[in-house]
Structure 1
């Protein structure tokens, strides 16, 4: 298992940050331009045990995901687990922490590559890709919530 962590500070309250992440439509805005995301589950409202179906396409390779909402602790935590994905295991914790007048957005992704030792050879590439993706996600989330133009 590998763990990836990305943390940023955003000038907004934790409830706004939490609500932003509950709105799955925002996923299309915070996904990097080299990846296309299609929400297959329309009008999805995140509640525990609900499953969101997503199709992502990168490098012309489509991947279907089924993500189950594992835990919601408003306004501080949202945890989803992939039931179907390119990974043997995928858990994503979205953590929202109040620090005075600002909030910390912390993403913790724990994953396991498929295909045993062969999959393990690709872990560094996956971590590099996660860094790029979450750098973009945090940047756009910050701009949107701080009402900057992008």
Structure 2
């Protein structure tokens, strides 16, 4: 199984507490996900993030293809980091770390995703042709939306 890595770093013009409050709430995920992804939370207990929390949603990564995705929040250190892992969904492996570090004039936010696709050679081809580009597009959109939400007041 080939495991891929996607990493992004962004400065957020906010306090660590403001940044944490926004990004640790699953309710805000839709705000920073492209509408073209058809992202919709289908089950979430509405509580503040905690280890063991299950979040279920649907996504449409490709025209008309609707997929169910279940993630578990596996680790949380308030105002510092959290990790979500796919339990059921389109990837054979998905591990997403979200780090938040105060940097003197805001927050350095780092996302690190490790992922793998099913189907061996076909999965590797799909990554090269579609998935890698789709993830790049999603994270580029996220950077833009975070800039609009937090950094427009600079």
TM-score using structure 2 length = 0.89
Residue 34 in structure 1 maps to residue 36 in structure 2: yes
Question: What is the CA–CA distance in structure 2 between the aligned matches of 1:77 and 1:86, rounded to whole Å?
Answer: 24
Map of 1:112 onto structure 2:
116
Question: What is the CA–CA distance in structure 1 between the aligned matches of 2:74 and 2:45, rounded to whole Å?
Answer: 19
Q: Choose from 18, 21, 30 the match for 1:19.
A: 21
State how many pairs are aligned. Answer: 148
Is the contact made by 2:44 and 2:54 (CA closer than 8 Å) also made in structure 1? no
Question: What is the CA–CA distance in structure 1 between the aligned matches of 2:17 and 2:116, rounded to whole Å?
Answer: 31
Question: What is the CA–CA distance in structure 2 between the aligned matches of 1:37 and 1:101, rounded to whole Å?
Answer: 32
Is the contact made by 2:81 and 2:97 (CA closer than 8 Å) also made in structure 1? yes
Is the contact made by 1:44 and 1:52 (CA closer than 8 Å) also made in structure 2? no
- What secondary structure does 2:39 align onto? strand
Residue 77 in structure 1 maps to residue 81 in structure 2: yes
Deviations for 1:114-134, whole angstroms, at most 9, x for unmatched residues? Answer: 011211112222121111101
- What secondary structure does 2:43 align onto? coil
Residues 1:5 and 1:12: Cα distance change in structure 2 (over 3 Å): same
Q: Choose from 103, 124, 127 the match for 2:132.
A: 127
Is the contact made by 2:12 and 2:147 (CA closer than 8 Å) also made in structure 1? yes
Gaps of 5+ in 1: none
The structural deviation recorded for 1:94 is 0.9
TM-score using structure 1 length = 0.91
The structural deviation recorded for 1:43 is 4.5
Deviations for 1:46-92, whole angstroms, at most 9, x for unmatched residues? Answer: 21011100111231111111100010011010100000010100011
The structural deviation recorded for 1:145 is 2.5
Deviant stretches of 4+, over 3 Å: none
